[in-house]
Amino acid sequence: MKLFFTILFSVLLLTVQAQYKASEVAMFKEKGNTELDAQVDVYRQYAMQVWDLAEVGYKEYKSSALLQKLLEENGFTIEKGVAEIPTAFVASYGSGSPVIGILAEYDALPGISQDSVPVKKVIDEKHAGHACGHHLLGVGSVASAIELKKMIEGKAFSGTIKIFGTPAEEGGSGKVYMVKAGLFDDVDAVIHWHPGSQNAVMGGSCLANVSVKFRFRGLASHAGGAPEKGRSALDGVESMNYMVNMMREHVPSDTRLHYIITNGGQAANVVPEFAEVYYYLRSPSKDNIKPLFTRLINTAKGAALGTDTKMDYEIIGGTYDLLINQALAEVMQKNLEEVGGVTYSSAEKAFATTLRESFTHKGDPLESVANVKPLSSENGLGGSTDVGDVSWKVPTVGLSTATWVANTPGHSWQAIAAGGTSIGVKGMMVAAKTILGTAIDLFTNEDLLAKAKEEYQSAIGPDFSYEALLGDRKPALNYRD
């Protein structure tokens, strides 16, 4: 009987300790969220500065410097220019394990600009814009890291927090070079997020991707007076594009092939001696990319042979599909549901209502931004991201939050407009709080990390060896030129 009561007392004691630990964790999250709310104006100012800079991939010198300044002022140690990329950095605080990484992006998209108003209004002097919301992404990630740093500094828990400043997500594959440089080798888990028009944890994958520029070289001549003496490089590009469009019938239906002609000659009366086409090839699996890429190259070779031109190509970027970690996703889902979605003020409702008049597809109601979607494999990114390579290196989890009006298409002027207002900032703070809560759970519960690592090892398999799809090339620092 004495032994029975001893065991019962021990069980009750453990239960009390577990409950106390849960309440302590809840207190950490509540305090962190309160601090984030108190600093929202600071983070808004930083986000809007990056929004206004709108620097494209590998050219984000001022944007990267702003985030580094904010982190340095808050006690982080900065390693600058990592992975041979001037605008990449790693900011660290703390020591020992666990090591939790948070991803920050800050590149804009070229060829699109918009003022922060709900009707189309191009800013003439700007030639790029944050149509994917990376100004919010970078600052929101940094905001959560600063609160985690305060908790480690105050000895709430121990470990290391790292912010990875990752340039050129839009086609430049910045994170791939950081993975190749071994910057994630000591990290236990990585957290990321992305602006969007709904609040959802990413339970679905994205598409693996290779981007490549094909360059054709011919012979210039007078197009009217002596066309027989020329060999048109543009003919090479157009012949390749024709064959690729024929090839679409004979690839898996979930393959994506799209391109732009970046150089088609300079004058209509001159046979072009140089032409260039920029291709993206996407597939749901990294393993399908290589054979499809071989076929793409063969169309270029055939086009060059048929037009009597010369062809070479340059791989610009290459990214894996996103490996979902269910254990981490469930942790993040719980935190997102605790934080909740976005509620608009009357002024924000008026802005959103006017903006939605420009949509071809309105879909979900305006108020849907207040909701949190259930965890589902349908909650994927849809496009491609270099986060995919990170996810095959370390257990990774991410979410999307409503920084845009419901059903806003990414890479649009409407996304730039909303992202430059308090609507974008509100969604950014939902992300910062969710990342904060998820990281606190990982810092305070080693069983969660162990479960995530076990799932990750099972998913990649015993024979997996990371090999970047872009090969051994150096970062394409001038790919936006």
SS3 string, 355-381, reads HHCCCCCCCCCHHHHHCECCCCCCCCC
For residues 206 and 315, what is the distance between their CA atoms, to the nearest angstrom?
20
User: Is-contact 14 21, C-beta < 8 A?
Assistant: no
For residues 46 and 179, state if they share a domain. Answer: yes
Q: At what angle do helices 2-38 and 134-153 cross, to 10 degrees?
A: 130
Q: What is the CATH number of the domain that holds 219?
A: 3.30.70.360
Q: What is the CATH number of the domain that holds 198?
A: 3.40.630.10
The residue among 284, 319, 354 that closes a domain is: 319
Looking at residue 15, its pLDDT comes to 38
For residues 344 and 288, state if they share a domain. Answer: no
Type of residue at 382: G
For residues 138 and 282, state if they share a domain. Answer: no
In a domain, 49, yes or no: yes
For residues 201 and 203, what is the distance between their CA atoms, to the nearest angstrom?
6
User: Is-contact 424 136, C-beta < 8 A?
Assistant: yes
Looking at residue 21, its pLDDT comes to 78
Looking at residue 6, its pLDDT comes to 43
In a domain, 481, yes or no: no
Looking at residue 208, its pLDDT comes to 95
The residue among 303, 319, 335 that closes a domain is: 319
In a domain, 14, yes or no: no
The pLDDT tens digits of the residues spanning 426-476 come to: 999 999 999 999 999 999 999 999 999 999 999 999 999 999 999 899 999
For residues 250 and 295, state if they share a domain. Answer: yes
For residues 268 and 388, state if they share a domain. Answer: no
In a domain, 159, yes or no: yes
In a domain, 19, yes or no: no
Looking at residue 481, its pLDDT comes to 87
**Token pair in block for residue 346:** 């009357």
The residue among 267, 302, 319 that closes a domain is: 319
Domain containing 251 equals 208-319
In a domain, 221, yes or no: yes
For residues 288 and 334, state if they share a domain. Answer: no
Looking at residue 18, its pLDDT comes to 39
For residues 331 and 200, state if they share a domain. Answer: yes
Question: What are the CB-based long-range contacts (under 8 Å, 24+) for 234-239?
Answer: 234/264, 234/265, 234/272, 234/275, 235/307, 235/309, 236/275, 236/303, 236/304, 236/307, 236/309, 236/311, 237/261, 237/264, 237/275, 237/276, 237/277, 237/303, 239/302, 239/303, 239/306, 239/307
Q: At what angle do helices 446-460 and 326-339 cross, to 10 degrees?
A: 130
Report the SS3 class of residue 405: coil
For residues 57 and 150, state if they share a domain. Answer: yes
The mean pLDDT values, 10 residues at a time, for the chain of 481 residues are 43 37 92 97 98 98 98 98 98 97 98 97 96 98 98 96 97 96 98 97 93 97 95 98 97 94 96 97 93 97 98 95 97 98 98 95 90 89 89 98 96 98 98 98 96 98 94 93 87
For residues 425 and 339, state if they share a domain. Answer: yes
In a domain, 75, yes or no: yes
For residues 63 and 152, state if they share a domain. Answer: yes
Q: Is the dihedral of CA 104, 107, 109, 114 positive or negative?
A: positive
Contacts of 458 by beta carbon, 8 Å cutoff, 6+ apart: none
In a domain, 89, yes or no: yes
Looking at residue 340, its pLDDT comes to 98
Looking at residue 10, its pLDDT comes to 42
For residues 296 and 332, state if they share a domain. Answer: no
**Token pair in block for residue 103:** 């991803």
For residues 67 and 170, state if they share a domain. Answer: yes
Q: What domain count does the chain have?
A: 2
